[in-house]
Structure formats: C-alpha cells, structure tokens
Structure 1
Amino acid sequence: MAQILAPSVQWQTRFTKNSIEASSMTSKMWGSLFLKQNKKARVKSSTKYRALAVKSEDGTINRMEDLLNLDVTPYTDKIIAEYIWIGGTGVDVRSKSRTISKPVEHPSELPKWNYDGSSTGQAPGDDSEVILYPQAIFKDPFRGGNNILVICDTYTPQGEPIPTNKRHKAAQIFSDAKVLGEVPWFGIEQEYTLMQQNVNWPLGWPVGGYPGPQGPYYCAAGADKSFGRDISDAHYKACLYAGINISGTNGEVMPGQWEFQVGPSVGIEAGDHIWCARYLLERITEQAGVVLTLDPKPIDGDWNGAGCHTNYSTKSMREEGGFEVIKKAILNLSLRHKEHISAYGEGNERRLTGKHETASIDSFSWGVANRGCSIRVGRDTEKEGKGYLEDRRPASNMDPYIVTGLLAETTLLWEPTLEAEALAAQKLSLNV
C-alpha cells in the first residue's frame, strides 16, 4: 500500500565534538545520547550540540512540513496561482506558479502568461514563446487557503491556437447555438494504472512476476487484492476540495488499476474537470513515489486494458421519446466510426481487440447492457425510453476536449446523406 508522504529534505544531526550519522542510529541510541549530553551539560556548560532534525526508526521530524502547511492568509492578500497546461505529447500536464496580488473568482481576472514552448515540444527554439490563456479555476488542495489551480489553453503571440490546443475547437463546438440548446451532459470514467517507481511494473505485482488471474480484484478489499487505495482516496478528497465534479471511484479489474468518474458535466466543463483531476493525480502519485500511466494496455496478455468510457446525453435524449433520439445519434456515430477512433487515444488498437469488455477497433456495434459493444445503452434507458448512451471506445489517454467535442459535433451538428443513413440503419437494425 503506497503511503502519501510529501518528499522532503532530511537534515542530519551535527555535534560539535562527535560526528555521528543520524541515519545509522536507532531511537534508543538517540535517547541514550541525549541523556548523556544533558548530564554533561549540567557539569560543564561548554559541551554543546545542535540538532536540526532527527531521523529514527519510528518516523521523521520534518520541519519542512511546517512551511509546506503554512497558512499565509492572515499576513498577505497575495495568492499563488498554479497555471496548468497540456504539453507537446497531448497527454503530459505542465505547470508553473505565479503570485497574484489578491484572490480572484473568475479566469478573466487573471493575466495571460507565457512559457518556453521549445522545452515542451510545442514551439521552435528561435520562436519559443507560447501564451497561456486562463480558462478555468479550481481551489488548490496542496497549498490551501485562497490559492488556486488554473487550467489554461495555449496560443501563439499572435493569438492563434497552437496545434496541441484542443480546447479551442471544443469551445467553438460547445458555443454553437444548436449545441447550447441541447445542454450536452457528459460523465467520464477515467481508468488509470499505478506503476512501481523503479520498474515498469504495476503496483502490488511481484517484480518480474504476475499476481493471480483477474477476478478477485475488481472493487475488492484486502492487502492481497487492493493496491493503491490510499492514492485513490487521497485523489478523491483532493478533487472534492478543488471543486472538481467527481462522482465516484473504484478499484478496477486488473490489480493496480483504478477508476474515477467525473460528471455529469455540461459542455466544455467536462474537459476542464478531467484535466484538472489528472493533474491532481499526477501530483499525488509524485508525492507517493508511484508512477501514473494512462497507457490503454499497460500489460500484454490476459489483462484488462484501461479506457475512458464517456457517457453522453442531450436535452432531447433525456426527455420523453429520447430513446429514438439516442438511436439517431448512434446511427451518426456509426457513420463516423473511423474519425472517432483516430482521435480516441494513441495505442487504442492494443486495447480494442474484442476481448476484455471491448469491441473490435475495426467494426462498430451497439447494444443494450452489452459491454462488448462500441456503444452501450443501459437497461434503464431502454425501459424508460429516455436517458443516455455510453461510448466505450475512448482510451484512457484520450483528450477529453476532443472526445466530448466530437460526440457533440457528430450527433448535433453533422448530418449524413439520406442514402448513408438508410444503409447504416439497416446494418445496425435501427428503426429511425
């Protein structure tokens, strides 16, 4: 079980007369030494020692904790804003800190900022400046107080979105009048895998070996079945503190793999919340000395991959007669299957094999309560005649701005030809 301990500098104890390594001494030795020093001090006051910190078998006195947990609110109006953006790989999150003169409530109150894009794979060295535009604010669970986390997107100095800025296009889609009128809801299920820090192997697995077959691990409890619960719980609380719309969490089918859910979120908010939740998870695993991976198939063989199932509904789907609207949306999604798959995450072909609760990447399918389909519709939706659909194709490393934007675009803005629609309806047995 990983322990959530902030990394810190361990100071050695120094004595003016005796040079003794603190790390090699037991707590009993420390007690004996301090007792002797106290006795000597009563006899001869010139005997001195200075202890900066003590490391014992029982724990660490960490004076840096006092500074890390220091609440500066009574002493200054200034706050720390952590500007967060997505790096050149499209999956990595980057951040840096800035002092703001007073607390803020809206991103528009924050200044734009810049960074060296040549160091993140997003700009050439001879024209490296990339501009950060603040877009969403969350409370900072690491620093507390009025300090904030700021989700940003990225632009050239001329104001053009750089190629890795996927939020810009998604924001355009979600600002369309037709999309706004349908109030699109998203519930995103982010799966992830925890890896041991010094070996590329899942947390809790014997190094170079395998645990028992899948079956006992999903939503399980016990030291032999649940690996990384402290990280999941710490992340859950950090998200709630930050104001992220996290709705739940659970251990997954493969040991060392977990999931958290965000939503229902409206429009562009879904992407902002997922990216901030990912940032928090990166920071927490950093403190725990565990490596986070969003690889869709981190371990080959008879082990589940990691997805990012995206639940989606519109106002029309949630109202009476909504099931027919859902089936029309499924038809549109079938006709743009290749476009969606190409944007649903790198390495997804290793996960979408038709096994381990996935559909084949090469074909589109849908079904009620069928987790082996591209699109799943719940039993309650079928029974009530309204509700939502679940797109099971996105990989764990997908960009939520891309996926949510595509779902809205394909189901609300894109119209197929009548011929293509008829052929797709016949193939999918959809009467729309």
Structure 2
Amino acid sequence: MSALSDLINLDVSGSTDKIIAEYIWIGGSGMDLRSKARTLPGPVSDPSKLPKWNYDGSSTGQAPGDDSEVILYPQAIFKDPFRRGNNILVMCDSYTPQGDPIPTNKRYHAAKVFSHSDVLAEEPWFGIEQEYTLIQKEVKWPLGWPIGGYPGPQGPYYCGTGADKAFGRDIVDAHYKACLYAGINISGTNGEVMPGQWEFQVGPSIGISAGDQVWVARYILERITEMAGVVLSFDPKPVEGDWNGAGAHTNYRVTLRTEGRHQTWILTL
C-alpha cells in the first residue's frame, strides 16, 4: 500500500506543466455529486478560460437514453486538496448541446437573480450551516453507535469531547483543512446533538458564490468519507425516533438603502 500511496501523492510538477482539473456537477436527484477529471495544458485561474465538457446524462437521471449528451459549463475554480499543486476542482452546471439549461440546473436561474443590478447593489451575504451524519458503511448505522443498538441519550454529544462522545473527528478536521486549502470560506465546525452527527459552516459569502462554495465543500467531504470508508448522509432524519435531525440552515444578511440611510437585516431560514 505504501507504493500506491507514493503514486497517489506523486508530485508531477517537475516533469510536466500539465494539470488535472476535476469537473464537478450535481446529478439528477438534486443532491448526488458527480465528477470526472481531464488534463489541461497548464494552470488556469479563470473559469471562463476552461473548456466546456460533456457527460452521459442518461446515467445520472438527467437525459433520456436516445439523446443523452449533457454539456458542462465551468463556473468556479477551487484548489484541489487531494492532488494539490496547480491541480483544480471545477464547479460546473449543466446544459443541453443547444445551450439551454437542463431542468435540474438550478444554478442558472439563481445566477440570473444574483446578477441583477438591484441585487448586486444590496450585496446579499449568506452563511450556511450544513449538518450531516457519518454512517458505518457495512451496517448502515451512525458512526459510534453499537451495532443493532442505541447509544446513551442525547445531551453530552453536542460540541462534546472524548472517545465516548465525539465520533469521526479525524474526518471533520481533515475536511476543515481541505476546505481552507481549496479556498472555501469555511468559518467553523462542531459536533451536533446526535452522536455521529456534525456540522460545518460556510460564509459569509456573497451571492452565487455561497452556493458554489457549499457544493464544493460537500464534494470534498464526500471524497474524504470515501477515503475513510464511511458513508456521508445529508438525510434530514437518518434515524427514526427521538433523535436529532439534520439540515442546512441559511443565514441571510442584506443592507437596504432607503432615503440615503442604510438598514441591515439579518434573516435565518
């Protein structure tokens, strides 16, 4: 395994100027993340300089089998914490070959709103709190829970410390640092009420960038849990009964300008 790890972590920058770009998009369920990699001739920092790409939409629930081509439009670039160097993660949205957004492309419509002059003038800020649950892969039961049984009552786990209270902190810390490396404005993390459940916060971020950053943060977390052999769940109610649920809370701040005065409003959803 050490030889495999050496190859995975191989620094090729001394041998070639080429980089690897991992194109990321949202699949047909609206929550599944897909990605594939391609080689580029050199470093890129502007998404408009990146080539469009395609994928088989019939395999992601986004196109029929007899007309399956879907086109990826690069929208945002992040540093790749897995391959590092000049390699990048690219958040994309999806279009038909004719250039129309496919039905699951919610970013297209959001971008139209956020690019409106009235919205730009208000500088909408978002802070998103993403809760999630870590699941034991083989038994499909939350991390740290006894197989076929239940842990002690909720109470000591929220922001808890200790081997009997915090389960999966290595994954959480790895995700925290990977997001910082990628350039995501991750602002914090904490253990949640249910054991095996955690939360990270992204923001403040302005406009459409908030969505891009949250989706890439989710992607990075999914990759890290893949490496750890743990399943990531955003299920709002991963365990039936009187156990804490999970969600993504949105904090919204906007400055309203009326009669030469500024009023700041903060709304939590």
TM-score, scaled relative to structure 1: 0.61
Higher helix share: 1
* Cα deviation, residue 316, structure 1: 2.0
Alpha-carbon separation, structure 2, partners of 1:113 and 1:170 = 22
After superposition, where does 1:113-152 map in structure 2 within 5 Å? Answer: 113-152=53-92
Alpha-carbon separation, structure 2, partners of 1:209 and 1:92 = 29
Residue 241 (structure 2) aligned to one of 282, 286, 301:
301
Q: Which residue of 1 aligns with 2:232?
A: 292
Q: Which residue of 2 aligns with 1:273?
A: 213
TM-score, scaled relative to structure 2: 0.97
Structure 2 SS opposite 1:126: coil
Query: Which of 1 and 2 has greater Rg?
Result: 1
Structure 2 SS opposite 1:137: strand
Structure 2 SS opposite 1:63: helix
Q: Which residue of 2 aligns with 1:389?
A: 267
Residue-by-residue CA offset, 1:275-332 (whole Å, 9 max, x unaligned)? 0000000000000000000000111111110011100011228x9763xxxxxxxxxx
2:50 is the alignment partner of 1:110: yes
2:38 is the alignment partner of 1:98: yes
Alpha-carbon separation, structure 2, partners of 1:293 and 1:196 = 11
Structure 1 SS opposite 2:214: helix
Q: Report the residue type matching 1:135 in the other structure.
A: Q
Alpha-carbon separation, structure 1, partners of 2:205 and 2:256 = 16
Residue 283 (structure 1) aligned to one of 218, 223, 234:
223
Alpha-carbon separation, structure 2, partners of 1:232 and 1:283 = 12
* Cα deviation, residue 75, structure 1: 1.3
Structure 1 unpaired stretches of 5+: 1-9, 11-61, 323-385, 392-432
Q: Report the residue type matching 2:27 in the other structure.
A: G
Q: Report the residue type matching 1:389 in the other structure.
A: L
After superposition, where does 1:59-98 map in structure 2 within 5 Å? Answer: 62-98=2-38
Structure 2 SS opposite 1:314: strand
Residue-by-residue CA offset, 1:9-37 (whole Å, 9 max, x unaligned)? x5xxxxxxxxxxxxxxxxxxxxxxxxxxx
**Which structure ranks higher in relative contact order (CA pairs < 8 Å, sequence separation ≥ 6)?**
2
2:83 is the alignment partner of 1:205: no
Residue-by-residue CA offset, 1:55-95 (whole Å, 9 max, x unaligned)? xxxxxxx1111111111111111000000000011100000
* Cα deviation, residue 200, structure 1: 1.7
Structure 1 SS opposite 2:212: helix
Alpha-carbon separation, structure 2, partners of 1:321 and 1:272 = 28
> Judging changes above 3 Å, is the alpha-carbon distance between structure 1 residues 198 and 320 closer, same or farther for their aligned structure 2 residues?
farther
Contact 2:255–2:265 at 8 Å: present in 1 too? no
Alpha-carbon separation, structure 2, partners of 1:299 and 1:316 = 42
* Cα deviation, residue 111, structure 1: 0.3
After superposition, where does 1:304-323 map in structure 2 within 5 Å? Answer: 304-316=244-256, 322=263
After superposition, where does 1:335-354 map in structure 2 within 5 Å? Answer: none
Structure 2 unpaired stretches of 5+: none
Alpha-carbon separation, structure 1, partners of 2:150 and 2:168 = 17
Contact 2:255–2:262 at 8 Å: present in 1 too? no
Q: Report the residue type matching 1:148 in the other structure.
A: I
Aligned length: 267
Q: Report the residue type matching 1:390 in the other structure.
A: T
Residue-by-residue CA offset, 1:86-138 (whole Å, 9 max, x unaligned)? 00111000000000001011001110000011111111111110000000000
Residue-by-residue CA offset, 1:331-351 (whole Å, 9 max, x unaligned)? xxxxxxxxxxxxxxxxxxxxx
Structure 1 SS opposite 2:118: helix
Q: Which residue of 2 aligns with 1:369?
A: none
After superposition, where does 1:365-380 map in structure 2 within 5 Å? Answer: none
Alpha-carbon separation, structure 2, partners of 1:190 and 1:289 = 21
Q: Report the residue type matching 2:65 in the other structure.
A: G
